[in-house]
Structure 1
Amino acid sequence: MFLVCGEALMDVFAEQETASGVVLDARVGGSPFNVAIGLARLGQPVAFFGGISKGFLGDRLRKALTSEGVNVDFCPLVDAPTTLGLVGLGADGSASYAFYGSGCADRMVTADDLPDLGDDIRALHFGSYATVVEPVASTQRLLVERERGRRLIAYDPNLRLNVEPNIERWKEMTTWMARRAHIIKVSAEDLHVAFPGVPIQEVAADWLQSGCRLVVATKGGIGVAAFNGEGEIEVDARRVDVVDTVGAGDTFQAALLTWLAERGLMSIDAVESLNIDQLRHALEFAATAASITCTRRGADLPRRAELA
């Protein structure tokens, strides 16, 4: 079983103007939330660890998780609002976000909320702004330190500068996680923001030297590159008619982890031993999954049968 850690929120899209305002379409979301849903839809047992509001939006988030088969037993219920992420879409379907989340439930997770994990939890995934805003960031660090020698740790920085504008905070967290995470999946866009002018290969080499076993850099419509102890490999993106890119990176991560799990490779040693041919197949599977999400509105992640 996977344990996905981080934020659950509502993505709010502007539908159309009215005589008195704007019609808004609020959808369940959040990067770690999407990864959990993606794993469940791809047939993987998964639980979620994140603060969820006691309010009606929190109820909707819990309902969405449980209806997809995600275990919510580890989710603390918090007497605070649900974060709202306003989503703007560019002409090419690319998404921009404005977050309203100060003091909201996903940030209010403390060390007292840390779960005891059984042997059925094989891997943990962390990502996005819950790793850099307090108090949840410190709580997640405690969990990483406690579990990193016993279970596979995956990480996606998924920078959100409109939540935490201090880029040094993000860089410090990625450096910290590179010494502890076994898989880092990151977008080339995030790498360019965090490490301007530094080639992707150089950042990946530094993270591998720090202890990470596998670095995967997604490049949007161009494709994806992966780096490990055996070398580097690139796979082209699937060509599709893009509706928007919301949830594409989360889909990729869920599919990458699914590919490993389906082949019994969900261990630190197994990830370290992946050969280039295995990596190619893993990247092609994950890229195909991400391309399906890009053809649909919002973070509507694919199910396993769609990848048969």
Structure 2
Amino acid sequence: MLDRLDPLVIGECVADIVRLPGAADRVHPGGSPANVAYGLARLGHGATLLTQLGPDDNGRLLRDHLAGAGVEVRTDGAAAPTPSAAVTLDSGGRASYTFEITWTLAPVTLDRPPRHVHTGSLATVMEPGAATVLAAVESLRTSATVSYDPNVRPELMGDHDAAVRKAERCVALSDVVKASDEDLEWLYPDLDPQEAAERWLATGPAVVLVTRGGDGALAVLPGGQVTVGALPTHVVDTVGAGDAFMSGTLHALTAHGLLGPDGRERLRSLDRATVTDVLRHAAACAAVTVARAGANPPDEAELKAALRAVP
């Protein structure tokens, strides 16, 4: 079994400007792929993030934040402003976003081939950078496992049919796919989220995970499905919850020796006990994250404590 995944994460960093009624704006580091890289580093993995950051205050904030967890940040050298998103929270802590973002990622030469690649979100749909991401995943998947999270942001997805085609292409290249029920409802409004997950499974992944907020999560795999409930917690906000779930998933799959070039075949024969354990770890990561402000996932000690607290 692997202790460290040392993945390559490809995707955007975003400065989340959190706005609450009657309070001053707060800037939190964000961006779904960046959050996943940060979460993996917090759990002891040597994550590298290939992204774009501007030479501005938000860019420096994001670099310092990621480096503080041990994430190695690689960029293509572009000098565009750091992407930002105004995050408005409702009374239940649920987030809505208004974005100012461009994504023009150019090819970057890597020092070493990764054992695992994760991507998703805006980086896989916004051109011209999305074409670079897709080409990189296609090239790297010959020697690495791949995970993908569409993390749908309707305001920035562009043409619906084109966005669906891009998502389906990423799914077909992936070994592990995670999406929220809201993602799937936007992509496939005429399908139940479980039916959409089964459709994706048939195109190539070993497992498709569906998060369902307070209703827990579902794993769809060739042998059937596995569900877990959400862990009890006090919700401060939901910012970064899905990303924490993703990093917890990859952490647990690594512990079971199911990622990397040596794990791909074993991943194709997942058993229910292993899937349940992976979902419990992922749900625990999400529960810790929603109990505090911003995309602030647990470290390994906090994850273990959260798991011990649940029967």
TM-score, length-normalised on structure 1?
0.92
Q: Deviation at 1:80? A: 1.2
Partner of 2:79: 79
- Which of 284, 288, 297 aligns to 1:288? It is 284
Structure 2 match to 1:37: 38
CA-atom RMSD in angstroms: 1.4
Farther off after superposition, 254-263 or 169-178 = 169-178
Q: 2:152 maps to what in 1?
A: 159
Cα distance in 2 for residues equivalent to 1:94 and 1:286 = 19
Matched AA of 2:93: G
Structure 1 position 117, deviation (Å): 5.3
The counterpart of 1:141, out of the listed 118, 134, 142, is 134
The number of equivalent residue pairs is: 296
- Is residue 2:28 matched to residue 1:12? no
- Counterpart of 1:198 in structure 2 is 191
Identity %: 35
Residue of structure 2 equivalent to 1:69 = 70
Amino acid corresponding to residue 53 of structure 1 in structure 2: G
Unaligned segments of structure 1, at least 5 residues: none
Alignment of 1:1-308 (within 5 A): 1-15=6-20, 17=22, 23-72=24-73, 74-101=74-101, 104=102, 107-111=103-107, 114-116=108-110, 118-119=112-113, 121-266=114-259, 267-308=263-304
Question: How big is each residue's C-alpha offset from its partner over 1:193-237, in whole Å with a ceiling of 9 and x where there is no partner?
Answer: 111131223222222221111100000000100011221111111
Deviations 1:166-212 (A, max 9, x none): 22232111211121111110000111111113122322222222111
The CA deviation string for residues 34-54 of structure 1, in whole angstroms up to 9 with x for no partner, is 000000001111100011112
Q: Is the 8 A contact 1:235 1:283 kept in 2?
A: yes
Deviation of residue 55 (structure 1)?
A: 2.2
Q: Measure, in 1, the Cα distance between the counterparts of 2:88 and 2:225.
A: 34
Query: Which residue identity is paired with 2:8?
Result: L
User: Which residue of 1 is the match for residue 309 of structure 2?
Assistant: none
> Using a 3 Å threshold, how does the CA distance of structure 1 residues 263 and 161 change in structure 2: closer, same or farther?
same
Runs of 4+ in structure 1 deviating by more than 6 angstroms, as ranges, are none
Contact 2:76 2:106 survives alignment (8 Å): no
Which secondary structure does the structure 2 equivalent of 1:52 belong to? coil
Q: CA deviation at 1:23?
A: 2.7
* CA apart distance, 1:281: 0.7
Letter matched to residue 295 of structure 1: A
Asked if the contact 1:95–1:245 (Cα under 8 Å) also holds between the matched residues in 2, the reply is yes
Tell me if structure 2 keeps the 8 A contact 1:54–1:78: no
Report if the CA contact (8 A) 2:29-2:65 is conserved.
yes
Distance 1:9 1:201 in 2: 30
Structure 2 length as normaliser, TM-score? 0.91
**Separation in 1 of the partners of 2:15 and 2:303?**
27
- Preserved CA contact (<8 Å) 2:245 2:285: yes
Q: What are the superposed Cα offsets for residues 72-110 of structure 1, whole Å, 9 maximum, x if unpaired? A: 2x3223211111100011111111000012xx4xx1212
- Is the Cα contact below 8 Å between 1:52 and 1:76 reproduced in 2? no
2: CA distance, partners of 1:66 / 1:138:
27
Alignment-mate amino acid for residue 176 of structure 2? I
